[in-house]
Amino acid sequence: MEPGEPQEPQEPREPGPGAETAAAQVWEEAKIFYDNLAPKKKPKSPKPQNAVTIAVSSRALFRMDEEQRIYTEQGVEEYVRYQLEHENEPFSPGPAFPFVKALEAVNRRLRELYPDSEDVFDIVLMTNNHAQVGVRLINSINHYDLFIERFCMTGGNSPICYLKAYHTNLYLSADAEKVREAIDEGIAAATIFSPSRDVVVSQSQLRVAFDGDAVLFSDESERIVKAHGLDRFFEHEKAHENKPLAQGPLKGFLEALGRLQKKFYSKGLRLECPIRTYLVTARSAASSGARALKTLRSWGLETDEALFLAGAPKGPLLEKIRPHIFFDDQMFHVAGAQEMGTVAAHVPYGVAQTPRRTAPAKQAPSAQ
């Protein structure tokens, strides 16, 4: 063809055999790219009556030591002013933070298996903070990408009266007095403590460890030990081996965990279940362990592991388990767990508790 000579029109070519596949791949990559640019759609909040509701105080979820010092030493007005001035600074994670993250990891698995089910964990921030402080709490929750949609900010009043309205299955707080109020109202509750050192916990499996007596079970057996000694206790447990113990304050929470575990079991995922529970008790297996296990069986419940320590310290075993939280009614065991890096929570129930003073000294209420 000579230069400048008009070209003959060309017949359109048929696409090659791999062109359609390549185009589909480009389209899929573009879709993923733009999906990542779009804001993430958060799941819908479940109805409270359908969910397992975990209420946490702001000082349980976040570290607020400096803020609490200001509140105690300088009063509420200075406290609120400080919070407003720092509302764009996220709080550091507190002792309940890894537990809440593990709850959300379980929720993701549940929603994959049961997209339309509301039988999931629902986390409520329960605090007596002033509503003005809510902006900093919201900013902190968004900073860590937590899914907490329900808030209860009571402006200095106790939030305990709202727990039943939220259908609370478990209440965690850094305020021991508020926890005792919740226990008195028949709500599973515990005072949560930060560990003495940080320990890496599982990101994919929620691990919860329970003491037995005065936590899952009543304090019946502890009363016998206190009144008559260990020998009488062993005799009593043997004689009543087939009589279930009465329930303790956290029996309902173990029941809720068991219900969610069964949703994974029904899909053939028992060995891959993202919830694992432990009974960690000072009882001896041979002399008093059977009654504990038979009591759980009579309730239709079980724990994945049962550790009978016969009075040995619990801290070293908990260090191996690395639970997100460990519940015990005795501060001695809570302190031992803390020393080994375990987030421990005290359940103020039963005969082992220090009697309350009838006329407590007045002190400034904590900002939860």
Vertex 215 angle, CA 219 and 156, to 5°: 110
Mean pLDDT, 10 residues at a time, the chain of 368 residues: 49 52 56 47 80 96 93 90 94 97 97 95 92 91 95 90 95 96 97 94 96 95 85 87 94 97 96 97 90 96 95 94 97 95 96 60 48
What gap in Å lies between CA 230 and CA 48, rounded to an integer? 44
Whether the Cβ atoms of residue 289 and residue 234 lie closer than 8 Å to each other: no
Rounded Cα gap, residues 101 and 274, in angstroms: 12
Quick one: pLDDT at residue 160? 94
Give pLDDT, residue 21.
59
CATH class entry, domain 48-192:
alpha beta
Residue pointed to by tokens 């919201």:
138
Domain 206-346 falls in which CATH fold?
A: Rossmann fold (3.40.50)
The pairing of beta strand 344-346 with beta strand 325-328: parallel
Q: What is the pLDDT of residue 97?
A: 97
Please give the Cα distance from 255 to 303 (Å, whole number). Answer: 10
Q: Could you tell me which residues come within 8 angstroms of residue 265 by beta carbon, excluding any fewer than 6 positions away?
A: 273
Nearest to 98 by CA among 343, 309, 330, 295: 343
State residue 352's pLDDT score.
Answer: 80
What's the per-residue H, E or C state across 37-68? HCCCCCCCCCCHHHCEEEEECHHHHEECHHHH
pLDDT in tens, 293-320: 999 999 999 999 999 999 899 999 999 9
Q: Distance between CA atoms of 189 and 256, rounded to whole angstroms?
A: 14
- Return the pLDDT at 365: 47
Residue 106: which of 26, 52, 47 has the closest Cα? 52
pLDDT for res 128: 87
Where in the sequence of the chain do the CATH 3.40.50.1000 domains occur?
48-192, 206-346
pTM (two decimals): 0.84
Structure tokens, 78: 């200075």
Cβ within 8 Å of residue 296, ≥6 positions away = 216, 279, 302, 303
Q: Where are the alpha helices (DSSP H) in 273-341?
A: 290-298, 315-321, 331-339
Is the distance from CB of 119 to CB of 260 less than 8 angstroms?
yes
Query: Which residues have a Cβ under 8 Å from the Cβ of 95 and sit 6 or more positions away?
Result: 60, 174, 192, 193, 194, 195, 343
Active site members: 211
Burial zone of 121 (CB within 10 Å; 0-12 exposed, 13-18 middle, 19+ buried): buried
- 335 backbone dihedrals φ, ψ, rounded to 5°: -65, -40
In this predicted model, what pLDDT tens digit does every residue of 224-242 receive, in sequence order?
888 888 888 888 888 888 9
SS3 for 169?
Answer: strand
